Structure 1
Amino acid sequence: MRILSASMDKTVILWAPDEESGVWLEQVRVGEVGGNTLGFFDCQFSPDGSMIVAHAFHGALHLWKQAALNKKEWTPEVVISGHFNSVEDVKWDPQGEFIISVSSDQTTRVFAPWKRKHETEVTWHEIARPQIHGYDMRCLAMVGRFQFVSGADEKVLRVFRAPRNFVENFSNITGVPVGELCYQQSSDLPEGAIVPALGLSNKAVFEGDVAPQPADEEENFNSISNQYPEISFQPLILTEPPPEDHLLQNTLWPEVQKLYGHGYEIVCVACNNANTIIASACKASKKEHAAIILWSTESWKKLQSLTFHNLTVTQLAFSPNDQLLLAVSRDRNWSLWKEQDSSESGPVFSCCAYTDKTTAVHSRIIWSCDWTPDSKYFVTGSRDKKVLVWGRCEWGAGGAMPAPRPCSAPLEAGDAVTAVAVGRAPLPLGRYIVAVGLESGTIHLLTWKQSGQEPAATDWSKCVQMDDSRGHALAVKRLCWRPRQGRAGHEDHEGSEWLQLASCGADHCVKIFNVNRCAL
């Protein structure tokens, strides 16, 4: 004799009849606190009635469990969460311990492995939501371990830095010691972040700013300052992934900088491996708007504008040795930019190679690109269903570099290629592992090795094709290999046989694949 109801007022209510009058009364009320949500669609009892699961408007699942002693006390439990719209980009942190993704659902989310005590199983969970935005998110780049820059359907790049509460909770959940995580003095870090009532930027909250929880609710409500508190962030010490309420309210990262300079919506952004330069590009239908802008991460000032392409630059990638910047575009061409001697204002890049109407191989939009770990070759993937390897990018006498040429025969992928990524771990016999994502959602794992002077189709070897149950249901948006060998959350050493590949797609999913490199 119990009824469960879910409402768009952000609550789930458990009703039961009064023993004396028989009138149905509210017994328990649970739900979301704060955030920018619109309530619940549906709810359900577990078979024994001891748990409640609810589905929220923003795609999240909520789970509450009844306390063993106090039957009217229900506590939130850990659930799997994720995006509720197309996931546009995903990146590993430089140490390979967690991933960050951005989505058209206007959020940026951090996912990390959780290993329960006394158990060997490792599961991935959302542990923070650093950015809840008013625009659809499009791209991001890691600037060091606990800092990232994101681009959205606005003309501004935003830079975020992790607060102390995130670093401590990340250590508690993943088991990584705090000593290995601190990137500056702990006392200098803000405790967390909030979005002010009339603001759009995440404002840092320091330890002295955190408001104490009031003891007297009536006195608290009668105070004007307490009816509309400026500080809504409350730090929590977590030993397991946070529930949805905490993700909505207390896991924002402070915004440290905005970068103005683009004329249209941001499309792609990249950071070099030294974390000193950011490159970004926006939507463009003219050459002047298709310029790549370089920014300094020290001063956050504009360093240079690189003009070459006639249409939108779709992806940017710095070579692992940071000497070259690769750009691919909707105009079916790629361009290669070489770092010159640094000036007083910062590094200066100049165009050292490119394709044009006479030398282009791709006949449709080039959607994606990536470098081999030795910086000798780069890979491009296009809507024309082809994947190509270009190189060799090596300097000759006098600092000159021959124009990169196709080093592979075009790989016919069978569908439009929307994402490519080259593994960072070495394979036997000098082979490179290449992941290819298609518009259909299929992911291929291949190896490539140049066997002769002339490109040959036999240089490609297909290892794995993800079936429909493992790949994505819609277009693959981005592929990203873990920057080192081993599996996050496991005690894998550098010589581990395992690699990990993160992918995201238009089907709202972020996936992580364990790949045995010895079997390739």
Structure 2
Amino acid sequence: MSSADVKASASRIFIGAGCNRVVNNVSWGACDLVSFGAQNAVAIFCPKRAQILTTLPGHKATVNCTRWLPCSKFAFEAKNMSRHYLLSGDADGAIMLWELSLIDQKFKHVLQVPEPHKKGVTCIYAILISNRDAIFATTSSDGTSHIYEVVLPMSIEDECAVSLVESISVNAKVMVAISLSELPGSSGKIVVAMGGLDNKIHLYCGDRTGKFIHACEIKGHADWIRSLDFSLPVCIDDESSSLLLVSSAQDRAIRIWKIALRDMASNNERASSIDEINLESYIKGPVLIAGSYSYQISLESLLIGHEDWVYSVEWQPPTFSSTERTSFFQPLSLLSASMDKTMMIWKPEKTTGIWMNVVTVGELSHCALGFYGGHWSPNGDSILAHGYGGSFHHWKNVGTDMDNWKPQRVPSGHFAMVTDIAWARSGEYILSVSHDQTTRVFAPWEQDASLPSWHEIARPQVHGHDISCVTIIKGKGNHRFVSGAEEKVSRVFEAPLSFLKTLNHATSKVYGFPEDGQTDMQILGANMSALGLSQKPIYVQATHAHEVPERTGTDGLDSFETIPDAVPVVLTEPPIEDQLAWHTLWPESHKLYGHGNELYSICCDHEGKLLASSCKAQSAMVAEIWLWQVGSWKAVDRLHSHSLTVTQMEFSHDNKMLLAVSRDRQFSVFLINRTESGEVTHLLLSRQEAHKRIIWTCSWNPFGHEFATGSRDKTVKIWAVKGDSSVKHISTLPQFSSSVTALSWVGLDWGQNSGLLAVGMENGHIALWGLRVGRTKGAEAPVVSLSLAAQLDPLMCHVSTVNRLTWRSSEEEDSRTLQLASCGADQCVRVFEISIN
């Protein structure tokens, strides 16, 4: 069993994922990392590298909100902390606590917070009380708000302790925003502000032992309150005497409320009665009583500027005092994010004190569809928004004497289940499709640095239907792919000139430029028609074809008189979201009509001459497989065998056979015959009921006519096509812990006939099995030797169903380093490097 006894190790190269489309989902920590929910996972990305570092598994439902402890607001208090913490809440009401060790940058799951909510968590807010203590509060759609105390560990051996301090019932008044602060002047008193569907801000007072009582209500907003944030105490005459609370709502307004010690308020009142009333005089609000202290609440300012719902407001994190490096002050600066596609920074004017909008970013965005939240970096020089399209938008102030906010790179990915992936013919990039109705290209940008980092470099298809399957046309010629969606049509796309030149910049190689004299016109890019799903080509004269405009990642996108809105550009560095969504479309060249239902599976042979497609089916007539001729795009044959949906198909590596597996628990092997005139005929070699449950996946041995099938019955079976045209079961892998949903077989050594079989499961886990097929003359069937080569670390893997696995095609034979790509229901596209030991 020596050759099969392969051992392998895996490392993670890349994760692409989009952000869940919910408010309060993103948090920027004092550790300068950003957390967000990607389906059931908590994802962590580094803004400086624009790369997702890891995903944290554990939640059983969609992650609604995350919050760092300490967040960027408390970065000034986190200088000596060696461990930071992260809270995450999901749609089932569960709240998890994670620990990040700054020394080795590793995460670990600490605990699930006791007494969870009965319904989804809508907001989490946390504050540091001291180096040892923290408090966080949560709101939920179950009509309650919980307040917890966290005791942080002092030594390496200690663990975090979390206890529920108070549960506040708000009943019918569902709360969606919450903020906490210590009250100035009163030792140990904590104020909680909550807002939601009744348009009021509710203030509760208590201490760290609980006993929170409803203190007062603040009225002013005319629609749902979406965000609340307390400043740190604002110093007047070296005394922390007042707090500022900012609120935003669906009435498009932002309000700043001042909470001042009562005696301070009365002094101000006496002073202002002598002077004439000016714009700085406050509109009186309710009085807040906390123990022996009382506070006057007044409206400091009303900020009007956004044209749509304002989903988030956040105070700029405290900064070092310019005089003393040990003291900190709260800058009077606010960041707001709105569904009108803009983020604004607000500051009071120095002379009048009137709050003004001093910075606006994002207003030129074609594609953001509005922002769900905006966040400051710990040092206040960067801002980050997350949008309706699951995307991030990052700006950094690169100015020295004056503000100059420039867009920055961010990680990107799908914001819904990723259904299928395919490597380019030579492995230059990965193509992925998703239920978010987009097709995306991810590639390593090798010119970026000594270590190439992966980025999304194109978005060839933006569709009106959920896309379910894709295949790249192999063989010579331009880069082409065919995708199928929840419509009955397959669509063929061809790479435009702008993409080929972008690929040259990314990889330092020259790819497929059109030959001189081939045609008078060249396709520069594509444009989406206003009313329709087709992407129309944009042409340029061949004499100008190589003068495609080059754009860096952050330049403005100029339009040409001769070219419509979507200007195809050549990217000389990894693009930002605006460029991806608007300027990297591929033109659609053909539509393939024939299927009676929405497309489900599609595959191409290894020469790029024949395409097979299947659709969802409940009857034998609809479950037929269609064969299409690449180039003419004519239907050349129809294969009947199954009675339910064909879930996956694959051509054998010599292109002589087509394997199909189905929901009807059977597989079929067809012999495909092609004549010189281009006619295609088929012969059904075998159809067998192979498993007890649905067969989800299959894969051929690259070195022969053996194949593997994987099923919901948690088994993987190995089969061999015998010389007498029958199929024999030759081996079964040990039963897995979950349904097998994805398989991919790669060859390691032709002489030994050995390979690796990657197995993806419904629980997100991935295993690698070493296989060696031994063939002897006269034997009835080959003998398979099996060994477990590697079980990938769950922290590396998906957190829900693995939908597809595929090995990168390598030009090197007997390579000891391979790349494996995977996609799953957790919105992620992942690339692993597999080292054969």
1:220 maps to which residue? Answer: none
Instruction: Determine which of 461, 469, 473 is the counterpart of 1:131.
Output: 461
Q: Say whether 1:482 aligns with 2:808.
A: yes
1:388 maps to which residue? Answer: 717
Q: CA deviation at 1:147?
A: 0.6
Instruction: Determine which of 439, 442, 449 is the counterpart of 2:762.
Output: 439
1:467 maps to which residue? Answer: 793
Q: CA deviation at 1:18?
A: 2.3
Q: Say whether 1:80 aligns with 2:411.
A: yes
Instruction: Determine which of 339, 345, 361 is the counterpart of 1:8.
Output: 339
Instruction: Determine which of 560, 565, 580 is the counterpart of 1:247.
Output: 580
Native 8 Å contact 2:728 2:781 kept in 1: no
State the AA in 2 paired with 1:236.
Answer: V
Instruction: Determine which of 490, 496, 501 is the counterpart of 2:820.
Output: 501
> What is the percent sequence identity of the aligned residues?
40
Paired residue secondary structure (1:348): strand
Q: 1:458 to 1:139 in 2, by over 3 A?
A: closer
Q: 1:188 to 1:381 in 2, by over 3 A?
A: farther
Instruction: Determine which of 361, 366, 374 is the counterpart of 2:690.
Output: 361
After superposing the two structures, state which structure 1 stretch, 507-516 or 180-189, moved more.
180-189
Normalising to structure 2: TM-score of the pair? Answer: 0.55
After superposing the two structures, state which structure 1 stretch, 268-277 or 234-243, moved more.
234-243
After superposing the two structures, state which structure 1 stretch, 428-437 or 156-165, moved more.
428-437
Q: Say whether 1:332 aligns with 2:665.
A: yes
Instruction: Determine which of 742, 746, 752 is the counterpart of 1:419.
Output: 742
2:732 maps to which residue? Answer: 409
Instruction: Determine which of 829, 834, 837 is the counterpart of 1:510.
Output: 829
Alpha-carbon separation, structure 2, partners of 1:33 and 1:295: 43
Native 8 Å contact 1:34 1:248 kept in 2: no
Native 8 Å contact 2:720 2:782 kept in 1: no
2:376 maps to which residue? Answer: 45
Q: 1:122 to 1:204 in 2, by over 3 A?
A: same
1:153-168 maps to which residues of 2 (within 5 A)? 153-168=486-501
**Per-residue CA distance 1:227-261 (angstroms, 9 max, x = gap):** x9981122333221100010111011000011110
Q: CA deviation at 1:423?
A: 1.1
Alpha-carbon separation, structure 2, partners of 1:238 and 1:142: 22
Normalising to structure 1: TM-score of the pair? Answer: 0.87
1:62 maps to which residue? Answer: 393
1:29 maps to which residue? Answer: 360
Query: How many aligned positions are there?
Result: 484
1:221 maps to which residue? Answer: none
**Per-residue CA distance 1:373-430 (angstroms, 9 max, x = gap):** 1232111111111101111455xxxxxx430211213431221100000014437843
State the AA in 2 paired with 1:143.
Answer: I
Native 8 Å contact 1:377 1:393 kept in 2: no
Alpha-carbon separation, structure 2, partners of 1:450 and 1:273: 22
Paired residue secondary structure (2:738): coil
State the AA in 2 paired with 1:385.
Answer: K
Paired residue secondary structure (1:423): strand
Q: CA deviation at 1:17?
A: 2.1
Q: CA deviation at 1:431?
A: 1.8
Q: 1:472 to 1:427 in 2, by over 3 A?
A: farther
Paired residue secondary structure (1:391): strand
Alpha-carbon separation, structure 2, partners of 1:285 and 1:379: 25
Native 8 Å contact 1:503 1:512 kept in 2: yes
Native 8 Å contact 2:499 2:570 kept in 1: no
Q: 1:188 to 1:484 in 2, by over 3 A?
A: farther
Native 8 Å contact 1:27 1:72 kept in 2: no
**Per-residue CA distance 1:238-287 (angstroms, 9 max, x = gap):** 22110001011101100001111001010000011111111000000000
Q: 1:202 to 1:418 in 2, by over 3 A?
A: same
Alpha-carbon separation, structure 1, partners of 2:580 and 2:540: 19
Q: 1:24 to 1:236 in 2, by over 3 A?
A: farther
Native 8 Å contact 1:191 1:205 kept in 2: yes
Q: CA deviation at 1:300?
A: 1.0
Q: CA deviation at 1:34?
A: 5.3
Native 8 Å contact 1:427 1:433 kept in 2: no
State the AA in 2 paired with 1:246.
Answer: Q
Q: CA deviation at 1:96?
A: 0.6
**Cα RMSD between the aligned structures?**
2.6
Paired residue secondary structure (1:170): helix
Native 8 Å contact 2:526 2:568 kept in 1: no
After superposing the two structures, state which structure 1 stretch, 439-448 or 419-428, moved more.
419-428
Paired residue secondary structure (1:29): strand
State the AA in 2 paired with 1:108.
Answer: T
After superposing the two structures, state which structure 1 stretch, 60-69 or 365-374, moved more.
60-69
State the AA in 1 paired with 2:763.
Answer: S
Q: CA deviation at 1:60?
A: 1.1
Alpha-carbon separation, structure 2, partners of 1:462 and 1:298: 42
1:489 maps to which residue? Answer: none
Q: 1:230 to 1:168 in 2, by over 3 A?
A: closer
Alpha-carbon separation, structure 2, partners of 1:56 and 1:143: 33
State the AA in 1 paired with 2:430.
Answer: I
Alpha-carbon separation, structure 2, partners of 1:464 and 1:455: 27
Q: CA deviation at 1:171?
A: 1.1
Alpha-carbon separation, structure 1, partners of 2:594 and 2:483: 14
Alpha-carbon separation, structure 2, partners of 1:298 and 1:424: 30
Paired residue secondary structure (1:479): strand
2:349 maps to which residue? Answer: 18
Instruction: Determine which of 440, 459, 471 is the counterpart of 1:141.
Output: 471
Alpha-carbon separation, structure 2, partners of 1:494 and 1:61: 40
State the AA in 1 paired with 2:735.
Answer: E
1:259 maps to which residue? Answer: 592
Alpha-carbon separation, structure 2, partners of 1:125 and 1:42: 23
Alpha-carbon separation, structure 2, partners of 1:457 and 1:307: 31
Native 8 Å contact 2:418 2:433 kept in 1: yes
Native 8 Å contact 2:685 2:725 kept in 1: no
Alpha-carbon separation, structure 1, partners of 2:781 and 2:363: 58
Alpha-carbon separation, structure 1, partners of 2:732 and 2:746: 20
State the AA in 2 paired with 1:513.
Answer: F
Q: CA deviation at 1:124?
A: 0.9
1:89 maps to which residue? Answer: 420
Alpha-carbon separation, structure 1, partners of 2:639 and 2:453: 43
Paired residue secondary structure (2:632): coil
**Per-residue CA distance 1:20-77 (angstroms, 9 max, x = gap):** 3322222222116454542111111222222111111111111112223463332211
Q: 1:32 to 1:229 in 2, by over 3 A?
A: farther
Q: 1:424 to 1:8 in 2, by over 3 A?
A: farther
State the AA in 2 paired with 1:386.
Answer: T
Native 8 Å contact 1:196 1:230 kept in 2: no
1:121 maps to which residue? Answer: 451
Paired residue secondary structure (1:340): strand
State the AA in 2 paired with 1:422.
Answer: W
Alpha-carbon separation, structure 2, partners of 1:407 and 1:122: 42
Native 8 Å contact 2:715 2:732 kept in 1: no
Instruction: Determine which of 703, 716, 729 is the counterpart of 1:374.
Output: 703
Native 8 Å contact 1:411 1:460 kept in 2: no
After superposing the two structures, state which structure 1 stretch, 198-207 or 454-463, moved more.
454-463
Q: 1:110 to 1:32 in 2, by over 3 A?
A: farther
2:200 maps to which residue? Answer: none
Alpha-carbon separation, structure 2, partners of 1:32 and 1:168: 29
Q: 1:457 to 1:362 in 2, by over 3 A?
A: farther
State the AA in 1 paired with 2:686.
Answer: A
Alpha-carbon separation, structure 1, partners of 2:733 and 2:814: 32
Alpha-carbon separation, structure 2, partners of 1:70 and 1:347: 71
Name the one with the larger helix percent. 1
2:553 maps to which residue? Answer: none
Q: Say whether 1:200 aligns with 2:530.
A: no
Instruction: Determine which of 611, 632, 636 is the counterpart of 1:278.
Output: 611
Name the one with the larger strand percent. 2
Native 8 Å contact 1:109 1:129 kept in 2: yes
State the AA in 1 paired with 2:693.
Answer: R
Native 8 Å contact 1:154 1:264 kept in 2: yes
State the AA in 2 paired with 1:505.
Answer: G
